[in-house]
Amino acid sequence: MASDGDSGGAAPARRDLVCVTGGSGFAGSWLVRLLLDRGYTVHTTVKNLDEAETKHLQALGGTNTRLQLFQMDLLDPASVRPAVEGARGNEFLEPAVKSTLNVLRAVKDCGVGHVVLMSSPAVMVVDEDCWVDVELLKKVQFWYSVSKTLAEKAAWDFAARRDCRWLCLIQGWYWVQY
């Protein structure tokens, strides 16, 4: 993908460009549709670029000019950058926190006894008192890490205030919050 800036740094953010990770999933594809309907240019990540995974996205209006699909390997951080480059950073933040809290509220309201939260290595939490520096992440425009960190902090706070029993998993790591 060509960037609007020089090749040595991140492309400047475009006001109309947003990135949706997991765009081929149910929630992601609805978000892609909503953003396209509102006139945004959308970069979305998918596991595979094959027709079986992307046909429903290609059928959306505006896909010829305003939708670009990026194959992303969750285990390869470098595969994320092309999709995110040039996107508006703050588009990640509110949806990440809001969606996490929406799920936790529904779980609590329905009386579910235990919750498993799949964390991200982007958060790099040692324990509930030791988090990455969100302000530094914002400064270097690592918006995905900012959104994941804020969402997970909100989840920990929600669980603590509402006496939720949950398990938080990070690839290769785990701990239990009672």
List residues with catalytic annotation. Answer: 148
On the CB side of 16, CA atoms within 13 Å amount to 9
End-to-end CA distance of the chain: 45
Closest by CA position to 150, among listed 92, 69, 68: 92
Q: Do the Cβ atoms of 74 and 129 come closer than 8 Å?
A: no
Give the residue carrying structure tokens 């194959």.
71
